[in-house]
Every structure is written in structure tokens, then in C-alpha cells.
């Protein structure tokens, strides 16, 4: 198969551009070229929309010891540019490393979902929701199924191709007794993996619980908390900035109450750019550095933050986050327009394959099962505290007794991490800032409040 067919880009244009920039006296040059296509479907009341988009673009980072520039555009890169002037700071590209062996998933080859199929999926969810909850209604739904491929080349000798596959679904539904809709956002590698019946059931549960009265102002519920993956992942997304990028021991201690021992034995936290079956699974990151599984917290012990090679060069090696820093390919690049930005790819709490959610629920004598977050978590790293709007079910002797439509889960971040008593086996990811995943968590020591 020719290079042009495989990566979808014109390798001659990429090479010529690289040479032209080197000839301009810029020793650090990286050229990325990418192509993609996507189908998008939207259902909005009685209206439907279907789109098909083809994207083709390129991006160049170049520089020397004095300055750097970034340029990008649609089409193929051209040796003529035009190239903007280089301004400080200097640019130092990562030294390429060969990625460990990786087998491209076969579903990368599956064709995009067709027009009738895509709209049928959304209409199927709407139908199933009405069957699950007769007065429930799907207000709006969007489905996007896309694939992309490209090539990244640098003056350091990097020459790599990459491919990706991503489907995203967003559902907004309303039910009896609710003034605000329930929203579900999910990602899969391929749109056909979305199951209308399961999604409708999830929405119906969420609508039924959301319609119940919430905790009143000043009301509190203590006892054990069971956090469903949707709730735990939201909390983890809020914590993610602590674990990526240079951090000193002092900073970590101030927020988490310790520099090493930050969580319970049950807490093991991993980021893995090549998570098998993951939506963002790839052997290299957005600047061609190999991805790998990186343990961030092992049985409650913080092993050190994850840094991209560029961050590692800038980090102070005596600052302890620096001394324990783990370098990996974590630069994400959503499109050719975006600069590589370090962050999580598949960040998740390791599940315990021996623990079923039912057994976790059965262990709760008095407590609450929080099934969903009603919005993003707010973390205040200055005070080490957090708050998250949630809904769920009151639990007594392992059985749900009453729905709780709205409450605030709040507390200290250190109490949250140290309070994880057990984890389930039902790992699920949410598309937040990267794919953020968690199994169900059993947590002690947090309080649920009304306003």
C-alpha cells in the first residue's frame, strides 16, 4: 500500500516542507499532515440533520535557540509557507524513540456509519426511551462517527504515521416532574457499539431519580457512599491536573495532605495512551513520542506526575515532582489546528475484577448510591476541597429505599482519596478532558448535603 493511501497525506509535500524550513536556518522542524472524515447526525424535536465532512490539514512547528513559530492550514503543506516570523521562546522537539510493538485494531477499518443507520440509531434510542419511561422524551441527540489518519515528520528523524477512530454520542432527555433535562455523553471507537436499549435504560433511570426531591437546604446524609463510574470519573477529571505536568512535593502535600501516601490501599491510578480498545488508543502521542501505561498512584502511593518530554526538560529536577516525574507520550492534538498539549489519554482507577457492584451495594448498611453527576465538579486546590452536584438512591441494608433527586457531594480532596474502601470491576470511561474512567467506588467519610 502506498504511503499516500495509508496515511492519507502527500509525503512528498511533507518532506519538501521540512527541507524548506531547514534551509531557512531553523534546525528544529516538525511537519504534521492529517486527513479525516466524519458523519454527523442530529435529532432535534422533529428536525433531523445529517452531515458529511472531509477535513484535510497540516501543521508546522519550527524554531531554533532564539525563537519558534507555528503555522497550520487546510490542504497540503507547501514549502513556500508563508512562514510567520519566529519569536521567543526557543523550540526543542523531542528526540524520537521507537514505539514498542503495537497491533492496529481491526475496527479502524470498519466503514463509517451510514446515513440511514445513524438516524435509525438516534430514533431507536428515542423509541426505547418512551418504552422504558412512557412520559420520557428525547429532546435532542447528536451522533458523530469519524476516522482520521496522518503523518508526522521531524528534523530529529521522526517519521511516523497514525490513525484514529472516534464516535461520540450526546443525548438530552426530559421526563415527568423535571424542569432540567438529563444529559448523557459517551464515546466509543465506532458508532455501531452504542446500544439503544441500554442507553434508553440509563436515561430512564437517570430521569426517574432526577425527578425525586433532593436534599433540602442544610440537610445532610452521612454513611457509606457508593459512587457509580459516572460520578467517580467526574471527580477524577477534576483531579487530573494534579497528576500531569511539573508539581513539587510541597504543592502535592498542600493539596493532598502528603507527598507520597495520598490515598487508600484500594486506589491505583493509571494513564495509558495505548489502553486496549480505548477510544484514543495509539502507539504514539501528538508529537510522535511513544505512549505507554504509566502508574501514577500505586495502592495509595503517589509515584510522581506524568510529564511530556518537553515538560521534563523545563521542569526543575530538584523539585520532587520533578525527581519522581515519569516521562511519557502524553501530548494530545485534537486537530491540526491545535498545538500538542500534555494531558490524560485514558486516565483510570484500576478496577478489581473480583468485586461485583452488587457485592459493594450489599456491603452498605446505611448510605447512598450516587448514580450520576448533574454537572462538573468544582475543585479548589487552594483549600483542597471539592463539590459535585449528584443524584442517587438512599440505601439501607444493601437495598435502594428512596431516590434523591439532587444533592451536593462535598469534602476535602484528601478525604476522598483516603476514603476509598473498595473498587468494583465495572470500569467505564467518560469523554471529559481525555477519556476518564473509574469503576464503582465504595467511599467512607464524605458527606452529602442539600444546598
Q: Which residues in this chain contact another protein in the complex, by CB under 8 A?
A: 42, 44-57, 61, 63, 67-75, 80-91, 115, 139, 174, 179-181, 337, 339
Quote the least distance from Cβ 83 to another protein, whole Å.
6
Q: Are strands 385-396 and 220-221 parallel, antiparallel or unpaired?
A: unpaired
Name which of 56 and 206 has its Cβ closer to another protein. 56
Quote the least distance from Cβ 426 to another protein, whole Å.
30
Rg (CA), the chain: 24
d(CA 411, CA 152): 45
Name which of 54 and 354 has its Cβ closer to another protein. 54
Name which of 58 and 348 has its Cβ closer to another protein. 58
Name which of 79 and 295 has its Cβ closer to another protein. 79
Quote the least distance from Cβ 88 to another protein, whole Å.
6
d(CA 124, CA 111): 21
DSSP state of 65: S
Task: Determine contact, residues 38/112, Cβ cutoff 8 Å.
Answer: yes
Quote the least distance from Cβ 127 to another protein, whole Å.
18
Quote the least distance from Cβ 306 to another protein, whole Å.
20
What is the H or E stretch that residue 34 is in?
A: strand 28-44
d(CA 340, CA 285): 9
Residue pointed to by grid coordinates 470498519: 110
DSSP state of 180: S
| The C-alpha cell that represents 135 in the structure block | 412520559
Name which of 41 and 275 has its Cβ closer to another protein. 41
Quote the least distance from Cβ 370 to another protein, whole Å.
22
Quote the least distance from Cβ 375 to another protein, whole Å.
11
d(CA 421, CA 8): 49
Quote the longest CA-to-CA distance of the chain: 74
d(CA 385, CA 241): 14
d(CA 288, CA 103): 17
Name which of 34 and 221 has its Cβ closer to another protein. 34
Quote the least distance from Cβ 330 to another protein, whole Å.
17
- φ, ψ at 224 (rounded to 5°): -70, 150
Task: Determine contact, residues 31/161, Cβ cutoff 8 Å.
Answer: no
Name which of 115 and 352 has its Cβ closer to another protein. 115
Quote the least distance from Cβ 140 to another protein, whole Å.
9
Name which of 144 and 271 has its Cβ closer to another protein. 144
| The C-alpha cell that represents 288 in the structure block | 510522535
d(CA 194, CA 56): 28
Preceding peptide of 89 cis, ω within 30°: yes
Quote the least distance from Cβ 310 to another protein, whole Å.
9
Residue pointed to by grid coordinates 520533578: 322
Name which of 25 and 85 has its Cβ closer to another protein. 85
Name which of 78 and 323 has its Cβ closer to another protein. 78
CA-CA-CA-CA torsion for 282, 288, 290, 292, nearest 10 degrees? -50
Task: Determine contact, residues 423/441, Cβ cutoff 8 Å.
Answer: yes
Amino acid at each position: 500500500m502506498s504511503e499516500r493511501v495509508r496515511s492519507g497525506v502527500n509525503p512528498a509535500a511533507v518532506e519538501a516542507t521540512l527541507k524548506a524550513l531547514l534551509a531557512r536556518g531553523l534546525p528544529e522542524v516538525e511537519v504534521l499532515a492529517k486527513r479525516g472524515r466524519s458523519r454527523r447526525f442530529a435529532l432535534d424535536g422533529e428536525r433531523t440533520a445529517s452531515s458529511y465532512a472531509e477535513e484535510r490539514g497540516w501543521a508546522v512547528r519550527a524554531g531554533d535557540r532564539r525563537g519558534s513559530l507555528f503555522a497550520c492550514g487546510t490542504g497540503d503543506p507547501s514549502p513556500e509557507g508563508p512562514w510567520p516570523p519566529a519569536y521567543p521562546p526557543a523550540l526543542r522537539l523531542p528526540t524520537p524513540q521507537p514505539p514498542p510493538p503495537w497491533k492496529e485494531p481491526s475496527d479502524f477499518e470498519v466503514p463509517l456509519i451510514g446515513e440511514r443507520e445513524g438516524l435509525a440509531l438516534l430514533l431507536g434510542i428515542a423509541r426505547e426511551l418512551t418504552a422504558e419511561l412512557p412520559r420520557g422524551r428525547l429532546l435532542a441527540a447528536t451522533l458523530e462517527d469519524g476516522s482520521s489518519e496522518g503523518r508526522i515528520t521531524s528534523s530529529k528523524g521522526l517519521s511516523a504515521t497514525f490513525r484514529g477512530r472516534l464516535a461520540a454520542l450526546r443525548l438530552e432527555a426530559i421526563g415527568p416532574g423535571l424542569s432540567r433535562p438529563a444529559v448523557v455523553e459517551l464515546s466509543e471507537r465506532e458508532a455501531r457499539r452504542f446500544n439503544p436499549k441500554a442507553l434508553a435504560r440509563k436515561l430512564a433511570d437517570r430521569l426517574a431519580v432526577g425527578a425525586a426531591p433532593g436534599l433540602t437546604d442544610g440537610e445532610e446524609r452521612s454513611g457509606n457512599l457508593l459512587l457509580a463510574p459516572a460520578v467517580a470519573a467526574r471527580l477524577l477529571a477534576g483531579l487530573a491536573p494534579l497528576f500531569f505536568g511539573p508539581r513539587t512535593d510541597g504543592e502535592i502535600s498542600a493539596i493532598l495532605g502528603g507527598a507520597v501516601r495520598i490515598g487508600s490501599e484500594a486506589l491505583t491510578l493509571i494513564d495509558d495512551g495505548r489502553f486496549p480498545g480505548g477510544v484514543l488508543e495509539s502507539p504514539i502521542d501528538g508529537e510522535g513520542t511513544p505512549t505507554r501505561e504509566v502508574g501514577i498512584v500505586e495502592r495509595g502511593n503517589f509515584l510522581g506526575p506524568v510529564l511530556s518530554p518537553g515538560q521534563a526538560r523545563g521542569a526543575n529536577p530538584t523539585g520532587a515532582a520533578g525527581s519522581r516525574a515519569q516521562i511519557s507520550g502524553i501530548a494530545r492534538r485534537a486537530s491540526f489546528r491545535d498545538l500538542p498539549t500534555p494531558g490524560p489519554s485514558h486516565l483510570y482507577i484500576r478496577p478489581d475484577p473480583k468485586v461485583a457492584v452488587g457485592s459493594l451495594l450489599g456491603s452498605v448498611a446505611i448510605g447512598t448510591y450516587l448514580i450520576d453527576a448533574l454537572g462538573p465538579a468544582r475543585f479548589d486546590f487552594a483549600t483542597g476541597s471539592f463539590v459535585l452536584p449528584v443524584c442517587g438512591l438512599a440505601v439501607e441494608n444493601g437495598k435502594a429505599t428512596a431516590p434523591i433527586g439532587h444533592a451536593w457531594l462535598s469534602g476535602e480532596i484528601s478525604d476522598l482519596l483516603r476514603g476509598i474502601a473498595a473498587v468494583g470491576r465495572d470500569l467505564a470511561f467518560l469523554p471529559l478532558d481525555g477519556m476518564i474512567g473509574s469503576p464503582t467506588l465504595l467511599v467512607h467519610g464524605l458527606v452529602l448535603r442539600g444546598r
